[in-house]
Chain A
Amino acid sequence: MTVRRFRAMGCEIVLAGGDAGEVAAVFERWEAAFSLFRPESELSRVNASRSQVLAVSPFFAATLQVALDAAADTGGLVDAALGAGAVRLSGTLLSRAGAALDLNGVVKALAVDEAAATLDGLGFVSAGGDLAVRGPVDVGLPGGGAVSVVEGGLATSGTATRGPHLIDPRTGRPSDSPWEQVTVSGATCLAADVAAKAAYLLGEDGPDWLDSRGMAGRFLGLDEQIVCNAVWHRSVVCI
Chain B
Amino acid sequence: MREQRRSQQTLRLVAKTWVVAEGRIDAARARARGAKLALGAVATLVLGTAFVGAKAHAAGHTKHRARPLAAPRSFERAVRRSVLAGGQIAPPVQPPPVVTSTS
Contact = CB atoms under 8 A, between A and B. Distances in A.
A156 B100 contact: yes
Contact of A139 (B85, B98, B103): B98
Interface in A173-207: 181, 183, 185-188, 190-192, 194-195
Chain B interface, DSSP helix/strand/loop, else mixed: loop
Contacts of B91: 147-148, 236-237
A237 B28 CA distance: 105
Contact of B86 (A124, A131, A231): A231
B89 A149 contact: yes
A121 interface: no
B9 interface: no
A124 B98 contact: yes
Interface stretch (A24-32, A36-44, A56-64, A210-218): A210-218
A191 B83 CA distance: 6
B97 A137 contact: yes
By size class, the interface of chain B is 20 to 34
Contact of A138 (B83, B88, B97): B97
A148 B86 contact: no
A47 to B, nearest CB: 22
Nearest to A150: B88
A41 B57 CA distance: 57
A161 B102 contact: yes
B83 A153 contact: no
B97 A16 contact: yes
A148 B92 CA distance: 4
Given A130-B100, A160-B101, A149 B87 contact: yes
Given A126-B98, A131-B100, A161-B101, A190 B83 contact: yes
Given A69-B83, A185-B89, A161 B97 contact: no
Contact of B84 (A3, A158, A186): A186
A129 B100 contact: yes
Interface in A1-22: 1, 3, 11, 14, 16
5 contacts: A140-B100, A142-B100, A153-B87, A188-B85, A191-B83
